[in-house]
Amino acid sequence: MSADIQAKDRLIVALDLESADKARAMVEELEGVVEFFKIGLTLQLAPGVEALISDLIKVKKKRVFLDYKYYDIAATLRKAVARAADLGVYFLTVHGTSECIRGAVEGRGNRDLKILIVTVLTSHDQADIAELGYTNNTVEQLVLHRAKKAIDAGCDGVIASGQEAKSIKELSGKIGKSLWVVTPGIRPDGYPEDDQKRRTTPRDAVMAGADYLVLGRPITEPGTFGYSNSRDAAKAILAEMQQAFDERV
């Protein structure tokens, strides 16, 4: 049993909404239910997003996952990551070469920012990675290659589908270094596929070894999940997650 893991600490709601004001309203609706929020590219240039991030961290005492997928030379990443760390961001995504990733880790310094590597987007399948030039790798092989690179560079975790979570945990166990698996592309049973080609349910992802789950539309658009409001949708997800965490060996 995974002792003392609380689903409430492991659910991240993606605020992929039209404006910072709508994101604030969603945070208010989920007050007392959700404590961790993702700010991604949808809001990156939205008016008021910097104030939103600051208020979430400093006023509302929430954890923030800044999912901007930083990708640049090491010197630039070092500076960008340092700024995110100064803001008090908890999770941050980067990708690139090993040198670039090490630059990101250096930029974090000794602050409590967790650096996550993007492996393969959950909206990509074998055909997609072949189009990107990875014709000699399966999706899982590419994911594991990038997970090992994350470990070698001193990162804290990876963004990966629940379909590869077990293999990533086995890899990190063999190497002897822990690695968080943060899993997007989560879709409850009966939920439309949307654009997620390598989706998993909350239960399946947790049982496979995922440490954190990222959900957007099933919670922020609750009608598609059969609920009248986002609070009830989030509670249903949390209940499924908690049962899986309690059962996980």
pLDDT tens profile 46-79: 999 999 999 999 999 999 999 999 999 999 999 9
Q: What is the pLDDT of residue 136?
A: 79
For the chain, what percent of residues have pLDDT higher than 90? 72
**Inside any domain, residue 165:** yes
Q: What is the pLDDT of residue 91?
A: 98
Domain of 125 in residue numbering reads as 119-211
pLDDT 10s digits, 130-151: 787 778 778 888 888 889 999 9
Dist. CA 47–CA 206, nearest whole Å: 35
108, 85 Cβ separation under 8 angstroms: yes
**Inside any domain, residue 167:** yes
Does 126 score more than 90 pLDDT? Answer: no
CATH, residue 152: 3.20.20.70
Q: Which residues belong to the active site?
A: 69
pLDDT 10s digits, 183-231: 998 988 877 666 555 678 999 999 999 999 999 999 999 988 889 999 9
| Confidence category of residue 1, pLDDT binned at 50, 70, 90 | very low
**Inside any domain, residue 17:** no
**Inside any domain, residue 180:** yes
Could you tell me which residues come within 8 angstroms of residue 195 by beta carbon, excluding any fewer than 6 positions away? Answer: 123
**Inside any domain, residue 95:** no
104, 75 Cβ separation under 8 angstroms: no
Domain count for the chain: 1
**Inside any domain, residue 133:** yes
**Inside any domain, residue 89:** no
pLDDT 10s digits, 10-47: 999 999 999 999 999 999 999 999 999 999 999 999 99
Dist. CA 19–CA 81, nearest whole Å: 24
**Inside any domain, residue 226:** no
